[in-house]
């Protein structure tokens, strides 16, 4: 499954905000090329060819190859932050919110693994200003998970000695799904999301949920 197919379904039209159509086609082609060959090995000619366009047409919409990567990274990290923020700030216990955050974040990395690989692993290819912007979005993602774990510790739901280190471990576990997930493998994105939510709850020492009050 390529990026076009991924974004048509499970990723909720991830590039819907990119207009006009030619700019969207070029961006999707760039995601596929960067994921397959790496940013530095990909040329603007490669990207334009995948989009069925001439190299000159690319420069009408994007001044440089880095501008393409920056836009991909910004949109991807904004979506990641939205996923984590929605889960972390919903009603419910810290246990429920953390499980929701992890399962949703993992599903995004599995269902849109081509995009996620570029978003998560090409950060160092950006220039200083663009990299600083994306790092700020990453810190906000970290803060959402950190806050839920902190809440769980405060409420007695979690047994965590190092909240910062545990936050890093949880996010690393989720992000790595983009590296290994295979659509032809034995698990669906939903199944991996549920598995990782269970693993993370065990990691933070969360016991079984309290029985509902009658």
**pLDDT per residue as tens digits for the range 108-125:** 999 999 999 999 999 999
Query: Considering only CA atoms, which of 124, 118, 120, 166 is closest in space to residue 146?
Result: 166
CA distance 170 to 102: 8
> What is residue 194's predicted lDDT score, i.e. its pLDDT?
97
Confidence check: pLDDT of 51 > 60: yes
> What is residue 2's predicted lDDT score, i.e. its pLDDT?
42
Tokens of 172: 């690393």
Prediction pTM value: 0.87
pLDDT (mean) for 189-197: 97
Tokens of 192: 């991996």
Predicted confidence band at 12 (pLDDT cuts at 50, 70, 90)?
very low
> What is residue 10's predicted lDDT score, i.e. its pLDDT?
39
pLDDT (mean) for 89-114: 96
CA distance 58 to 45: 9
CB count in 10 Å sphere of residue 15: 21
What ranges do the domains of the chain cover? 2-204
Q: What percent of the chain has pLDDT over 70?
A: 90
> What is residue 18's predicted lDDT score, i.e. its pLDDT?
87
Predicted confidence band at 13 (pLDDT cuts at 50, 70, 90)?
low
Predicted confidence band at 14 (pLDDT cuts at 50, 70, 90)?
low
> What is residue 19's predicted lDDT score, i.e. its pLDDT?
84
**Using one digit for the tens of pLDDT, what is the confidence trace for 129-177?**
999 999 999 999 999 999 999 999 999 999 999 999 999 999 999 999 9
Peptide bond into 209 cis (omega under 30): no
Confidence check: pLDDT of 3 > 60: no
Q: Which long-range contacts (CB under 8 A, 24 or more apart) does 158-164 make?
A: 158/94, 158/95, 158/204, 158/205, 158/206, 159/204, 159/205, 160/204, 160/205
Query: Considering only CA atoms, which of 100, 66, 95, 68 is closest in space to residue 83?
Result: 100
Name the CATH superfamily for 2-204: Tetracycline Repressor, domain 2 (1.10.357.10)
The answer to whether the beta carbons of residues 61 and 19 sit under 8 Å apart is no
Predicted confidence band at 88 (pLDDT cuts at 50, 70, 90)?
very high
What one-character-per-residue DSSP string does the chain give? Answer: --HHHHHHTTT-STTTTS-SHHHHHHHHHHHHHHHHH-TTT--HHHHHHHTTS-HHHHHHH-SSHHHHHHHHHHHHHHHHHHHHHHHHTSSS-HHHHHHHHHHHHHHHHHHTHHHHHHHHH-GGGS-HHHHHHHHHHHHHHHHHHHHHHHHHHHHTS---S-HHHHHHHHHHHHHTHHHH--TTSS--HHHHHHHHHHHHHHHTT--SPPPPP-
Confidence check: pLDDT of 209 > 90: no
pLDDT (mean) for 169-193: 95
> What is residue 6's predicted lDDT score, i.e. its pLDDT?
45
């Amino acid at each position: 499954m390529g990026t076009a197919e991924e974004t048509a379904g499970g990723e909720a039209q991830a590039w819907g905000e990119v207009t006009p159509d030619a700019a969207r086609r070029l961006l999707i082609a760039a995601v596929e090329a960067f994921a397959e060959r790496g940013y530095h090995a990909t040329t603007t000619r490669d990207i334009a060819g995948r989009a069925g366009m001439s190299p000159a047409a690319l420069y009408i919409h994007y001044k440089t190859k880095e501008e393409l990567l920056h836009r991909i990274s910004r949109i991807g990290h904004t979506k990641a932050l939205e996923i984590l923020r929605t889960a972390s700030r919903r009603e419910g216990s810290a246990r429920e919110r953390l499980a929701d955050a992890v399962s949703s974040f993992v599903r995004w990395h599995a269902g849109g693994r081509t995009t996620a690989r570029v978003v998560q692993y090409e950060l160092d290819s950006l220039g200083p200003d663009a990299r600083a912007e994306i790092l700020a979005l990453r810190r906000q993602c970290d803060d959402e998970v950190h806050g839920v774990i902190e809440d769980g510790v405060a409420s007695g739901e979690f047994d965590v000695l190092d909240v910062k280190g545990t936050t890093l471990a949880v996010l690393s576990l989720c992000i790595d799904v983009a590296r290994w997930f295979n659509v032809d493998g034995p698990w669906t994105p939903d199944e991996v999301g549920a598995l990782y939510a269970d693993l993370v709850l065990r990691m933070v020492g969360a016991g079984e949920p309290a029985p509902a009050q009658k």
